[in-house]
Amino acid sequence: MAHFMLELYYRLKRIDATLTHDFTLPLSQRDMSRLLGMTTVHISRTLTELEREGLLRKTRKHVQILDLEGLTKIMSSDPFKVTDKLNPLFEGAGLRARQSPASCAPPNSQTGQGSSSAR
């Protein structure tokens, strides 16, 4: 679930550099369960746990990432490796990113400074 939220955030950030840690997510828990192959109960429990830990807040159609670094630390892969090639619908559709992935990275992530456990 952390990976899903971060991937959405970084994909949106690539097309809108002014994006804050708040974004609209017009998916229900049922939609997310179908996309991620999880039960709605698991989605609900995971979102509740992420909120309890102070990492994010999810309302009906809105996500607010409260602790980007903390959310990244519990993730199992590198969010900066997100590529539109994962989704063939983006290929050839003129939906290219306006910025390089490096421009979406939080401070110090490209310089090697900061926590190495963030990956």
pLDDT at 35 over 50: yes
Sign of CA dihedral 89, 94, 97, 100: positive
CB atoms within 10 A of CB 72: 23
Tokens linked to 70:
């903390």
> How do residues 15-27 score in pLDDT, each as one tens digit?
888 888 999 888 8
Tens of pLDDT, residue by residue over 38-92, are 999 999 999 999 999 999 999 888 999 999 888 888 876 555 555 555 454 444 4
| pLDDT of 51 | 94
What is the residue-averaged pLDDT of the chain? 74
The reported pTM is: 0.61
Tell me the C-alpha distance between 66 and 22, whole Å.
9
Distance from C-alpha of 12 to C-alpha of 6, rounded to nearest angstrom: 10
- What single-letter amino acid sits at 72? T
Does residue 113 carry a pLDDT above 60? no
